[in-house]
Amino acid sequence: MTEITGAVEQGNDAELALDGSDAAISIRGLTKRFGNITAVNQISLDIKKGELFGLLGANGAGKSTIIKMLTTMLTPTEGEARVWGHDVVKERNLVRSSIGVVFQDPAVDGMLTGRENLDFHGRMYGMDGELRKKRIEEVLELVDLVEKADEKLEEYSGGMQRRLEIARGLMHYPHVLFLDEPTLGLDAQTRRYIWQYIRNMNEEKGVTIILTTHYMEEADSLCDRVAIIDNGKIVALDTPENLKDEIGSDTISLDVQSGAEALMQSLRPISWIKSIIANNGTIELMVDHAQSRIPEVMQQANRCCAKITSVGLHEPTLEDVFLKYTGRKIRETGSHANSMVARMHMRHG
């Protein structure tokens, strides 16, 4: 690996980009083709400084290709992109000095200790010994690995290795941190631990974070804004809450053993119920703020002597949003074209 000079700044917090822009990342018409396959198709996007931004999509949707272009690992076919004010094609070293990256595939040495891995990374970025030592302690503290620092990576759990990779990405004080599927393959509990470290980096250190994921819950929990990527295009872009609001109201489902008709009659005049659907002993109510409405619904059931055996609540999710914009659930997206793109990724870096 080539040493990247000029990568270290003595400060700890992100500063203004060189061009004075409020955008940490600015993308215009970004396109990447592999032969006849278009992996990324005319993406235009601005990501603000300090933002925790999510790229949400299925495997093969183009998320990783976007990240590889923004981190200078792939050259765009068309369009342009600037990271912290630097052109990703013309100013590769300046881009690299401004970013940290945690890729999907592990990039740490299992035969080295956690501390040795961090020290090696610091050397590659031209950090002097005193600064390396100081920064190693800071990032180990941030990801809660101080007690494991002198153990070999082969003894770390999967979650601990991912935390160390995040620490490594922060070693040289990056302005922008790219996390490509940072919790892929981890169990639910470990995934939530990683989420907390990501939040802390963003909120306490002011690091701009670009997160790719195909976990809906992850994007919903972490991201200030989300771009849904499908077949190399951005098909939706907004905050998770605004995207979910597009789906509409919550649904209260009532399984009614008896008295369904009387309950329907009593519920119809209520103004905050947008619609009522009855089907085979189940009544579905479309309402806003469903959780606060359930007690009132149950009071109506008691008044008309309806017997309810169970109550269900469904609030719009990013899975619903993904289905709306792509026509399928994220787990169903495994098309031949996407598989071809994934193979081309492997050939071209």
CATH of the domain at 55: 3.40.50.300
Best CA proximity match to 107, nearest among 176, 165, 174: 165
β-sheet bridge partners, residue 237: 227
Q: Do 52 and 181 share a domain, yes or no?
A: yes
Does residue 298 share a domain with residue 228? Answer: no
Residue 88 falls inside a structural domain: yes
Give the three-state DSSP class for 7: coil
Torsion of CA 311, 316, 322, 326, to 10 degrees: 80
Q: Are residues 47 and 195 in the same domain?
A: yes
266 close to 304: Cβ distance less than 8 angstroms: yes
| Shared-domain flag, residues 133 and 63 | yes
- Cα 258 to Cα 263, 299, 303, distances in angstroms: 9, 15, 13
Q: Indicate whether 281 and 302 sit together in one domain.
A: yes
Q: Are residues 257 and 231 in the same domain?
A: no
pLDDT number for residue 40: 97
Residue 182's pLDDT is 87
DSSP 195-224: HHHHHHHHHHH--EEEEEES-HHHHHHH-S
Is 164 found in the same domain as 40? yes
Residues 123 and 225 in one domain: yes
For the four alpha carbons of 271, 273, 279 and 281, in that order, the dihedral sign comes to negative
Looking at 238, 262, 289, the residue that finishes a domain is: 238
In this structure, are 114 and 214 located in the same domain?
Answer: yes
Spatial contact of 267 and 285, defined as CB atoms under 8 Å apart: yes
Q: Which residues pair with 258 in a beta bridge?
A: 307
Q: DSSP strand E in 84-221: where?
A: 86-87, 99-102, 176-180, 208-213
Element at 62 (helix H, strand E): none
pLDDT means per 10 residues in the chain (349 residues)?
38 40 92 96 96 93 94 97 97 94 83 95 91 93 92 92 89 91 85 87 90 91 96 96 88 92 92 89 90 91 92 90 84 46 43
Cα(58)–Cα(330) distance, integer angstroms: 6
The 8-class DSSP code of residue 250 comes to E
pLDDT at 131: 93
Residues 215 and 266 in one domain: no
For 94, the domain range is 23-238
Is there a domain that residue 38 lies in?
yes
Q: How far apart are CA 19 and CA 11, in angstroms?
A: 19
Which pLDDT does position 231 carry in this prediction? 93
Same domain, 95 and 33: yes
Partners of residue 47 on adjacent β-strands: 25
- Note whether residue 39 is domain-resident: yes
pLDDT at 21: 67
Contact 45, 233 (CB under 8 A): no
In a domain, 333, yes or no: no
- Report the CATH number that the domain containing residue 296 is assigned in CATH: 3.30.70.100
**pTM, to two decimals:** 0.76
Cα-Cα end-to-end distance for the chain: 14
Tell me the Ramachandran region of residue 166: left when phi exceeds 0, alpha when psi lies from -120 to 50, beta otherwise.
alpha
Domain co-membership, 52 together with 128: yes
- Picking from 208, 238, 268, the residue at the C-terminal end of a domain is 238
Q: How far apart are CA 304 and CA 269, in angstroms?
A: 14
Q: Report which of 196, 246, 249 is spatially closest to residue 218, judged by C-alpha positions.
A: 196
- What pLDDT is stored for residue 143 in this prediction? 87
**DSSP H/E element including 18:** none
Task: Specify if 258 maps to a domain.
Answer: yes
